[in-house]
Amino acid sequence: MTARVIAGQYTDASNVYHGFVRAANGTVTSFDAPGAGTKATQGTSPSSINTAGDITGTYSDTSSAAHGFVLTPALKTMTTLTSSPNPSNYGQAVTFTAVVTPAPPDGETVSFMEGKTVLGTGPLSGGSASFTTAALKVGTTTATAVYYGDSHFSSSTSKTVKQVVSKATTTIALSSSLNPSKVGQSVTFTATVDPQFSGTVKGTVTFYDGTTTLKAVSLSGGLVKCTTTKLTLGKHTITATYDGSTSFEGSTSAPLTQTVN
């Protein structure tokens, strides 16, 4: 027999015989040979199980005539799902791991689902399959893992796992094209907004001279520029503020001192 897998028979309250398979994890699955009778002393009587999980035995039909059978019942499986890290931030890689017991053959596939949408798939190895993604949206993703089964192992679906994804933080680097500059000269301030993990930062960056707004510019590829010729004589404290979005938290750059001679 397969390691720690047992086949046998039991009699129900009506004295009908049935076969059963006890898996290594203790899960018991009952079965009946096709054509087995359902009256007292009729039914299925297994006698042996081989390393492939094939069961041989006899069964009594509805006329109580005895027959031999060879049967490979599907073992009942259980799938569990975990995710890490949980909670996570937008753009952060999250790994979903499914464990199927008893372990089906290596290479069979587990699908990781959000409702009816397939998030990804992973091959089983030693009863475990995983899938990693950094594309989860901000909010709560309700995920399940589905093992579809085969001729030896039944299908099973895990309980739901709620993956909580929060907004990611951002940082802004601010630079000047000409510092010091002279009154009337063109100066371009460049702000680069970087995400905490990954993804494209979208939204608006506003440039300030102290508390005075210089310009608000929409991000393109994480980069924005503000050009001005109106800086007055003296020192100016320039900052850039990112307003944030549905996926990213807002942030403000370190102040840059622009000297105008």
Q: Say what the pLDDT of residue 1 is.
A: 46
What does the block give as tokens for 236? 């100016």
Q: Which domain holds residue 199?
A: 170-260
Same-domain status, 180 and 225: yes
Q: Say what the pLDDT of residue 111 is.
A: 97
Residues (pLDDT < 50) of the chain are 1
Q: What is the pLDDT of residues 194-215, one digit of tens each?
A: 999 999 999 999 999 999 999 9
Handedness of CA 173, 178, 183, 189 (dihedral sign): negative
Same-domain status, 157 and 191: no
Q: What is the pLDDT of residues 7-30, one digit of tens each?
A: 899 999 999 999 998 876 677 888
Same-domain status, 197 and 237: yes
Give the pairing type, strands 161-166 and 88-89.
Answer: parallel
Give the pairing type, strands 78-84 and 109-114.
Answer: unpaired
The pTM of the full predicted model, rounded to 2 decimals, is: 0.73
Other CB atoms within 10 A of residue 26 CB: 9
Same-domain status, 134 and 205: no
How many residues are listed for the chain in this entry?
Answer: 261
User: In this structure, is residue 1 part of a structural domain?
Assistant: no
